Amino acid sequence: MIKVCPHAINSTSYKINFRKSPDTINLAVEELRNLEFSNDDKNFIKRHGAKPPFKNGKEAYDFIKNSGIKIQFAKLPSNDIHAQWDINEKSININKIYKNNRNKAVILAISEAILHEAGHAKDNDGDSSIQEEINCLALNAMAHRTYEKKYPNIYNSAQENIVKNGVTMYSDIYFDKNPYRLIKRIQKSYSHLPAGDIKHPADYLALAIKYNNF
Ligand SMILES: [Zn+2]
């Protein structure tokens, strides 16, 4: 999901803590701030060689706040791109088709997307790799499972793309005991990226995905 989009238009700028009335992003950030991951999930993701950039939502929240990162709705290249980290603007951009959407499932999905993109922001470069994606996908996949437990069946009836084909799909395949669907999905989206990079050395799954060796 990392792509630089320096020409985002029709966006509404937002910085956490600076708005009084809760809007969709504000509500999503508040969920993020209270997010914890379960020990079972933290253990499971190790089998994918994932090293999540944050240990909980509060750590991500503090990082966003202390780094002066904006979170805003913006026009993104397609409705299938839910969020992007724009290093030039120091901005996490959420697809503006969800602006003013108050569906709780969408708010939670945006919270997951913010967490994923904050993971990309943390290394302070504009590049990504398959290993970096595996690390950042671990964050939103774990967050999804925590929210599902906190708000049972919350995602079930949501028809929005960011929920159905975004966060729910990724959590399902990330936590499937058989990694085949995860491998195929990452290959589809990220095979153009290097397996790893200097800050995210490729573990076995990233290498298997890159070289189609599994
Ligand atoms: Zn990503």
Angle at 208 between CA 185 and CA 41, to 5 degrees: 65
Per-residue model confidence as pLDDT tens digits over 58-95: 999 999 999 999 999 999 999 999 999 999 999 999 99
Residue 10 located in a structural domain: no
Residue 203 has pLDDT above 60, yes or no: yes
Percent of residues, the chain, with pLDDT higher than 90: 87
Find the 79 Cα to ligand 1 centroid distance in Å.
Answer: 16
The span from the first CA to the last CA of the chain, in angstroms, equals: 24
Q: What does 68-122 look like in DSSP terms, one character per residue?
A: T-EEEEE--S-TT--EEEETTTTEEEEEGGGTT---HHHHHHHHHHHHHHHHHHH
Residue 48 located in a structural domain: yes
Per-residue pLDDT at 197: 97
Per-residue model confidence as pLDDT tens digits over 108-156: 999 999 999 999 999 999 899 999 999 999 999 999 999 999 999 999 9
Q: What is the 3-state secondary structure (H, E, C) of 29-63?
A: HHHHHCCCCCHHHHHHHHHHCCCCCCCCHHHHHHH
Per the CB < 8 A criterion, the answer to whether 13 and 78 are in contact is no
Find the 190 Cα to ligand 1 centroid distance in Å.
Answer: 9
Per the CB < 8 A criterion, the answer to whether 114 and 93 are in contact is no
Find the 213 Cα to ligand 1 centroid distance in Å.
Answer: 22
Average pLDDT, the chain: 91
Find the 84 Cα to ligand 1 centroid distance in Å.
Answer: 8
Among 1, 139, 14, residue whose Cα is nearest residue 68:
14
Q: And the tokens for 37?
A: 């991951």
Residue type, 60: A
Residue 92 located in a structural domain: yes
Residue 11 located in a structural domain: no
Residue 181 located in a structural domain: yes
Q: What is the dihedral of CA 119, 123, 127, 130, to 10 degrees?
A: -60
Find the 36 Cα to ligand 1 centroid distance in Å.
Answer: 20
Percent of residues, the chain, with pLDDT higher than 70: 90
* Dist. CA 52–CA 140, nearest whole Å: 10
Per-residue model confidence as pLDDT tens digits over 43-63: 999 999 999 999 999 999 999
Per-residue pLDDT at 161: 97
Antiparallel, parallel or unpaired: β 91-95 and 70-74: parallel
Q: Which domain holds residue 72?
A: 24-211
Find the 10 Cα to ligand 1 centroid distance in Å.
Answer: 23
Residue 120 located in a structural domain: yes
Find the 189 Cα to ligand 1 centroid distance in Å.
Answer: 10
* Tally of domains within the chain: 1
Find the 137 Cα to ligand 1 centroid distance in Å.
Answer: 7
Find the 140 Cα to ligand 1 centroid distance in Å.
Answer: 10
Residue 105 located in a structural domain: yes
Per-residue pLDDT at 1: 54
Per the CB < 8 A criterion, the answer to whether 18 and 77 are in contact is no
Per-residue pLDDT at 214: 82
pTM: 0.91
